[in-house]
């Protein structure tokens, strides 16, 4: 990440102390911002360690999903900075700018004081994709995902409608902390009740397919996969905390769906819908729409859209081929391996963070829907199906992690980020 070193040994002690304080402030601000925009613990710790080393700072870093600790100085004279950080919001455009800023400070193109000002400017800048694209994505992404789950035209329209309502709800609750904490529960209730209401009023709709598709943005599949990656890389504290966070979200979604389904069943008579088969080309249209949706969800840079679509195609095609060879649960390993190789080559060739293309494409592979189905089965007292589906969720998540780890061993990205 950083490539040059600075030496202040020849300066007076007072000047060295001032410079060191500026560098420490920069490192802390950089760490908080990188954490805020979705950097996993193992990458954040490695990146900050490199930044500190290249700024001639002795430091140890510990990151968890809601806490960041950095200890500076000689082991006999440690100074510890502990920061409570908010749960991350995925913003790959700002994360890429922070990575470039860290390189510039390390290369002495700008000093840490100017770096602090730029970090503040990055944090205060508007998101790469505003409210209008986010709202459109909230409708189009569930519609595309419905195709993957075997839904018909009416299911697609219903999922788009319910997804749009949930997207508006997300925008409304974002500014209010108490409402934001209950968003998963409220969103799950709206998804299940809306799906049931549409099925009972219009007919020809599969409520279960519409519910899962409408909840696709709320499912913690990426969180689960990140947790498994952190556990596999021996970041046990962060991985365990993130894993439990994913389970809590799944439980909230399960309870919200149960309430929505119960209320809709009381108010509407839902008839069984006839299965509808869409043409084969519809899968590729849905793939394109879903991939573009992930670009907006991850707030990726506009200049990276083409690379992200290509990465998503590599992962999606690899997963389909892997499924033919290894089955549905292990086949995703092939997709993750192919995606990891592509992302590492992207990072090596363009000297940019691999996360820019890796994260949006990987979301299409993560097993969030399996976890939701497992929790729903357990709440319905279908214990055997619930345990089986939940176990399959862990197998898929670990297969993705294994594919990415093997890809890193075969082709190094040459970058921490």
Q: What is the DSSP letter of 90?
A: -
8 A C-beta contact, residue 243 and residue 118: no
Task: Give the model confidence (pLDDT) of 158-175 as tens digits.
Answer: 999 999 999 999 988 887
Which of the pair, 137 or 328, is modelled with greater confidence? 137
The two structure tokens encoding residue 101: 């800023």
The two structure tokens encoding residue 359: 């994260």
8 A C-beta contact, residue 378 and residue 386: yes
pLDDT range class, residue 3, cuts 50, 70, 90:
very low
Residue 197: predicted pLDDT: 94
Length of the chain: 417
Strands of the 59-64 sheet, one edge to the other: 59-64, 67-72, 79-84
Mean pLDDT (whole number) for 85-99: 88
Averaged confidence pLDDT in the chain = 87
d(CA 163, CA 151): 15
Which pTM value belongs to this model?
A: 0.88
d(CA 250, CA 219): 7
For residue 64, report the phi and psi dihedrals to the nearest 5 degrees: -130, 170
Task: Give the model confidence (pLDDT) of 180-220 as tens digits.
Answer: 888 999 999 999 999 999 999 988 898 988 998 999 888 88
d(CA 202, CA 410): 53
Domain ranges across the chain: 13-124, 130-279, 300-417
Residue 122: predicted pLDDT: 95
């Amino acid at each position: 990440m950083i490539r040059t070193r600075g030496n202040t040994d020849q300066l007076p002690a007072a000047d060295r102390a001032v410079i060191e304080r500026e560098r420490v402030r920069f490192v802390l601000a950089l760490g908080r911002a990188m954490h805020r925009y979705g950097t996993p613990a193992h990458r954040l710790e490695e990146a900050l360690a490199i930044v500190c080393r290249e700024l001639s700072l002795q430091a140890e870093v510990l990151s968890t999903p809601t806490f960041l600790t950095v200890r500076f100085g000689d082991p006999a004279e440690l100074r510890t900075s502990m920061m409570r950080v908010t749960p991350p919001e995925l913003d790959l455009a700002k994360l890429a700018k922070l990575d470039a800023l860290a390189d510039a400070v390390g290369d002495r193109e700008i000093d840490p004081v100017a770096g602090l000002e730029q970090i503040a400017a990055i944090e205060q800048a508007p998101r790469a994709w505003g409210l209008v694209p986010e709202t459109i994505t909230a409708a189009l992404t569930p519609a595309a995902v419905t195709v993957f789950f075997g839904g018909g035209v009416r299911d697609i329209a219903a999922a788009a409608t319910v997804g749009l309502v949930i997207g508006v709800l997300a925008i409304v609750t974002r500014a209010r902390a108490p409402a934001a904490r209950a968003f998963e529960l409220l969103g799950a209730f709206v998804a299940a009740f809306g799906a049931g209401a549409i099925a009972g009023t219009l007919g020809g709709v599969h409520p279960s397919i519409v519910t899962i598709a409408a909840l696709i943005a709320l499912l913690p599949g990426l969180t689960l996969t990140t947790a498994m990656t952190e556990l596999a890389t021996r970041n046990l504290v962060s991985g365990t905390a993130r894993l439990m966070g994913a389970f809590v979200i799944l439980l909230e979604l399960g309870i919200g769906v149960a309430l929505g389904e119960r209320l809709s069943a009381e108010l509407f008579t839902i008839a069984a819908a006839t299965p509808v088969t869409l043409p084969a080309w519809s899968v590729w249209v849905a793939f394109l729409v879903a991939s573009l949706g992930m670009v907006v969800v991850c707030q990726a840079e506009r200049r990276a859209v083409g690379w992200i679509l290509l990465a998503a195609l590599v992962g999606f095609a690899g997963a389909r081929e892997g499924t033919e060879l290894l089955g549905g649960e292990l086949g995703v390993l092939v997709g993750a391996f192919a995606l990891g190789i592509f992302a590492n080559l992207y990072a090596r060739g363009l000297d940019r963070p691999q996360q820019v293309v890796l994260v949006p494409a990987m979301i299409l592979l993560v097993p969030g829907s399996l976890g939701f189905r497992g929790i729903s089965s357990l709440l319905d007292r279908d214990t055997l199906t619930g345990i089986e589906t939940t176990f399959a969720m862990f197998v898929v998540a670990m297969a993705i992690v294994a594919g990415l780890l093997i890809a890193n061993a075969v082709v190094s990205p040459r970058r921490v980020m």
